[in-house]
Amino acid sequence: MNSSAVLVRAARKSRGLTQRQLAERVDVDQGRISRYEAGAEVEFGTIARLLGGSGHRLYSAPTRRDDAATIASAIRTHLRLGDKQSALRELIQLSDNLLSEHGLVRGILCLAEPESTGDSAWDAALAALVDLRLGEEGLPAPAWVLAPNRSLSSPQTLEVDPADPIPSAADVPAEFLDRGVLVWRDTLASI
């Protein structure tokens, strides 16, 4: 899925709009919105109009790194294919992306609410990682990070490798522990 598709879908969903509602706001048919969100080519002006229809504006940031919403989309694809190793590499890539940026640009990479990965543990892990990396810069977490659906009711691992032992609370970053995701601290190290 291309970046514009992720951006349009994230903007629409962050406002709780259906494709039909967004289509009505910007005076296009719902099928066109569906095609755009599926990755069809779309002109810059159309993207700006779709974002405007969902109450967002398009800004540029001095980075080439993928944001949390784009990484979540990649994780969702890997999980659907049963490839948790690649999903974990994407999560680590997001960590690297955030560590490579500072201040406002780091925050911008976390603003758009990611669509669900289809797995509550991975959704919670994304929120925990964003909270961790923004906290390191003293930046506030966007509302989506603090949403109740971004935490687990009982602690669990990401189940990437069944042979991995379960980490103790002391070995899990606080942001992950708070959301019930048991991830070894060194898992977030770049690979």
Sign of the CA dihedral 115, 119, 124, 127?
A: negative
Q: What is the pLDDT along the chain (191 residues), one digit of tens a residue?
A: 567 888 888 888 878 889 999 999 999 999 999 998 888 888 888 888 888 888 877 777 788 999 999 999 999 999 999 999 999 999 999 999 999 999 999 999 998 889 899 999 999 999 999 999 999 999 999 999 999 999 999 999 999 998 899 999 999 999 999 999 999 999 987 76
May I ask the CATH class of domain 3-53?
mainly alpha
Buried/exposed 125-148: b ≥16 CB within 10 Å, e otherwise: bbbbbbbbbbeeeebebbebbeee
- pTM of the predicted model, to two decimals? 0.80
The domain ranges of the chain are: 3-53, 68-188
